Structure 1
């Protein structure tokens, strides 16, 4: 079943069935667990083609059919799926944005590397700021540029010339 919109009010009608629950953001669907004999819950954000989370679901009393979804279970799954997405976003951010603080010749610097994962023109921006946060330099580098103490120190000592 898909989400229901009331055309007159243009509002979302939640679905609360035994194996399918929907709110304005999430759909929880009980599915056959492909990895074993049991069941799973697939949590999918509206507009996404793939579930954000698929996790085992409890069997019913007959040990054959899945236990029906409930309001507390749905809210727990929404919270868990949101947490999974938040962790993915944090991991992606950590991969694309790196920084380090260092001191070179008595001056403190914050050096950052921001990777732009563009399919046609992937690149990164290497930047340096002083201890007050004023930007001192910014150059475009390859997306696989390795930011570490050695590369940052060398860049600063070479007066922020674009690294090779």
Structure 2
């Protein structure tokens, strides 16, 4: 079953080896590593699949089991979770935070990396317990935020850290 929409919309497809909705495409492909089949889940607009996994053989033990609505929805849920975990890992890699206890109270030191292809950099900032920014400096994207480096920056009265 195929439904065509205007050029701005995605074509909905529901075929044995290819399903597509507004966001995802599931395509059953020959598994190059063995005799079996795999399914690739690709987000609309992306060139690479978010998920590739094994796919069940059909009853004849030669051809893949056809895609259906239940399988497609399960695949969408799994692929969406893979993307969500990837985004969480990327966020954790680019945004780090450490807390430093001082006589004036606890200070949160944050490192936010900007992964620019030509000129990556990071912003090192400090906030008090009320969330007010106490200091902010630009540092190299390779700056390592640790308990020790955060404490040294706070104790040094937020001077530009050495490169």
TM-score bin, normalised by smaller chain: over 0.9
CA distance in 2, matches of 1:34, 1:43: 17
* Matched residue, 1:152: 150
* Cα distance, 1:105 vs structure 2: 3.1
1:30 aligned counterpart, secondary structure: strand
CA distance in 1, matches of 2:36, 2:132: 58
Structure-2-length-normalised TM-score: 0.94
* Matched residue, 2:53: 55
Structure-1-length-normalised TM-score: 0.93
* Cα distance, 1:120 vs structure 2: 1.0
Verify the 8 A CA contact 2:4 2:12 in the aligned structure 1. no
* Cα distance, 1:35 vs structure 2: 1.5
Please tell me the root mean square deviation across aligned C-alpha atoms, in Å: 1.5
Where in structure 1 do 4 or more consecutive aligned residues deviate above 6 Å?
none
* Cα distance, 1:4 vs structure 2: 6.2
CA distance in 2, matches of 1:151, 1:6: 56
Aligned residues: 161
Indicate whether 1:18 and 2:16 are aligned: yes
Unaligned runs of 5+ in 2: none
CA distance in 1, matches of 2:100, 2:33: 49
Residue range with higher mean Cα deviation, 113-122 or 100-109 = 100-109
Counterpart mapping for 1:2-81 below 5 A:
5-7=4-6, 11-81=9-79
1:6 aligned counterpart, secondary structure: coil
CA distance in 2, matches of 1:5, 1:119: 39
2:41 aligned counterpart, secondary structure: strand
CA distance in 2, matches of 1:37, 1:13: 31
* Cα distance, 1:5 vs structure 2: 4.2
Residue range with higher mean Cα deviation, 104-113 or 75-84 = 104-113
